[in-house]
Amino acid sequence: MLKKTFDDEMLERIIEASLIYMCACPAQVAKELLDMRQLYTYQQNCLSNNPLNTKVHELIAETVSDNHERMEATLDSILTLENWDRATLEMPEGLRRLRDKLIEES
């Protein structure tokens, strides 16, 4: 089972806020986490439905699990570094002002 710091809904909120405020990095990491969860689930289904290549599916699932844990820690660090509101998962005002400034300069 994957250890999850952020549930899927939280990741979707991060993606949405990042795209609205034109800050792609947190969204990219959140998207990769969702994709890893799909891959992990797929491998778990293969293990239970098709034990033919058990070692292959176990290896993929284990690798995904390890990488998922590291990416969640990375996302956690990004949100801390950027001062995201952890209760609402909204981007901080400073990044929103930076976005507005960049739009004005375009």
Question: Residue 94: its pLDDT value, please?
Answer: 79
Residues 6 or more apart whose Cβ sits within 8 Å of residue 39: 60, 64
Question: Residue 71: its pLDDT value, please?
Answer: 97
Question: Residue 22: its pLDDT value, please?
Answer: 64
* pLDDT tens for the 106 residues of the chain, in order: 899 999 999 999 998 887 766 667 899 999 999 999 999 999 999 988 877 789 999 999 999 999 999 999 999 999 999 889 999 888 888 777 777 777 787 7
Question: Residue 76: its pLDDT value, please?
Answer: 96
Angle at 13 between CA 82 and CA 18, to 5 degrees: 45
